[in-house]
Structure 1
């Protein structure tokens, strides 16, 4: 359903130099000079930034311009086996990605690392057991002393029932080994709530006793729907809330606090589908009213207008907007 031709392109090393150029004498991960994270729970309002494409902005400049303190950095993938690397190719530590993380933390912020996405080799598929997958996740948690991780489970990873169970079992092991670590699971949706794969993932999580902090839907690339994207998003989130409440036996208020929304700004992969800042305000109001676990979007890279003659893509939204208009809305969200 979600082709993500704009959102999850084939992975590239092209932008590592851009990141390296922005690094300033940063303290290494694990250093005593690294400050505490922002006061909001890590991941609550952390927009995605993909450091592997889309002319990524320097994160600290985004922080200064918008007030955002957190980022969900994408994507951690398999190097072809059960070993995590940035985009499946760049070293886990010691490179431009670590410099970006250090810069964010030195500026008073923090990061969520996102595993998966649409393209590339997924650890959930390449690791042959839940224990091996948990060890791969743990390697990243340890490397960056993470307080939160995101499993963006899409495409062939989410469509395979065996892999869905493996991800659930691995996340339970990691949660047990890291008290206080927040785990977010992100997947596609229909306009009325999770599809069959998403529902099965939630039910498997509940059956395993996995305490996910935020089951998160990506409410876009619908193909067809009626009403504004802001309104459709809230309806999809209500469907997610009902699914989580049913699987876990939560009341509505508790279920809302265990779900999240990961939207998209501007034009999506669907030619006639657009999310405006007005739609984001609708989502923000809904998230605030129900105290959602997470409000994020794909992606900071796209949070700017396109140059004349350029279509929406990996580095611009395709609509008229001021720089970081969507990031500024998300940054206001405090649960």
Structure 2
């Protein structure tokens, strides 16, 4: 099971890497975009908790759903917590997300996380075709009608250069698809940081994203636990 191994301590825009702002309006089927500045704590998908119950008890209205990973080290099929019974196609959380939106909130699906990044089941690492990865991202966007995706890159995924490039190529394909279909899809990177700023490994992820033509909308700095 996946559990967070680090604390996200701040939400910032990586201004030096951000591309042009999103243009145009969302279609009738697209959800309302996530606010530019938002508190969206992790909701751990390995638990049996209900999102709306946590929202009502805590007052939080936005959640980062952690995490989506593949079924195995050579798989391209995404599932919550990597569980075969909880693939995207199975539609887990659909009713809970609808209820959360009724409360004025929304979710940000997050890909990766410590367990997947260490174990090779982050989709950029396990799936070898950027177009197939992009299709998996599109499935998440259309299935859950979300407007922001989070790429949580840590552990060994920070050193798998082929996976980094495949992931970023896929993100670019996703952004092109979203533009062609009039959808708002923001891309958020969660990367390790120190007291001096982004760690070199995280900076390399962003540099590769820029080289692949990715528009970086949001960045989250994650401080490692001691």
Q: TM-score range by the shorter chain?
A: 0.7 to 0.9
Give, in whole Å, the separation in 1 of the partners of 2:214 and 2:31.
Answer: 27
Give, in whole Å, the separation in 2 of the partners of 1:36 and 1:134.
Answer: 20
6 and 98 in structure 1: CA distance in 2 versus 1, 3 angstrom threshold: closer
1:140-179 pair list within 5 angstroms: 140-179=140-179
Shift of 1:114: 0.4
Point out where structure 2 has 5 or more consecutive residues left out of the alignment. 6-27
Give CA deviations for 1:41-93 in whole Å, capped at 9, x if unaligned.
Answer: 2783211111213x64x322333344322111111110121011111111324
Point out where structure 1 has 5 or more consecutive residues left out of the alignment. 9-31, 222-269, 271-335
1:1-335 pair list within 5 angstroms: 7-8=4-5, 37=32, 41=35, 44-53=38-47, 56=49, 58-80=50-72, 81-89=75-83, 90-94=86-90, 96-120=92-116, 121-179=121-179, 180-221=184-225, 270=226
Give, in whole Å, the separation in 2 of the partners of 1:198 and 1:35.
Answer: 31
Give CA deviations for 1:140-178 in whole Å, capped at 9, x if unaligned.
Answer: 111111111101112222211111111111111111111
Q: Which has the higher strand share?
A: 2
Aligned length: 191
Give, in whole Å, the separation in 1 of the partners of 2:178 and 2:91.
Answer: 26
Give, in whole Å, the separation in 1 of the partners of 2:37 and 2:146.
Answer: 11
Instruction: Please say which structure displays the higher CA radius of gyration.
Output: 1
Give, in whole Å, the separation in 1 of the partners of 2:131 and 2:46.
Answer: 28
Shift of 1:198: 0.9
Give CA deviations for 1:9-29 in whole Å, capped at 9, x if unaligned.
Answer: xxxxxxxxxxxxxxxxxxxxx
Shift of 1:207: 2.1
Higher relative contact order (CA 8 A, sep 6+): 2
> What is the SS of the residue equivalent to 2:115?
coil
Give, in whole Å, the separation in 2 of the partners of 1:175 and 1:44.
Answer: 22
> What is the SS of the residue equivalent to 1:165?
helix
103 and 212 in structure 1: CA distance in 2 versus 1, 3 angstrom threshold: same
Give, in whole Å, the separation in 2 of the partners of 1:36 and 1:209.
Answer: 25
Q: TM-score, normalised by structure 2?
A: 0.74
> What is the SS of the residue equivalent to 2:194?
coil
